[in-house]
Amino acid sequence: MELKDFISETIKQITDGILEGNTYVKDKSNSSEGIRDQYTKINFDIAISTNEENKNDLGGKVTVVQVFNAGASSSKASSTTNQNRIQFEILAAINTK
């Protein structure tokens, strides 16, 4: 999943959860107020992993639909995994009325 899709879906689900929670509070407490409208702080702390692979292939091979491999080959591969963190917060004005 791309980062922008993750952030977008997270905000949508938080908004839906607040709105559904507001309806629940109104129904269960017989209150006309429910959850008060205010800015909701959403904190993100996202870990991102990237994998870089360097591969040197020598020789020939025949590949059919990645199921059958035939031929002779020699390869050297190295892999590096990088991890980064992104932290930020947003304020969302969610109208519960």
- Tens digits of residue pLDDT in 62-94: 333 334 444 555 556 666 777 788 899 999 888
Secondary structure letter of residue 14 according to DSSP: H
pLDDT higher for 23 or 36?
A: 23
DSSP three-state, residue 1: coil
Mean pLDDT value of segment 3-11: 89
66: three-class secondary structure by DSSP: coil
Q: Return the minimum-mean-pLDDT range out of 6-10, 21-25, 42-46, 47-51.
A: 47-51
Could you give the percent of the chain with pLDDT greater than 90?
19
Instruction: State which of 18-22, 27-31, 35-39 shows the largest mean pLDDT.
Output: 18-22
**pLDDT computed for residue 31 by the predictor:** 74
For residues 87 and 44, the answer to whether their CB atoms sit within 8 Å is yes
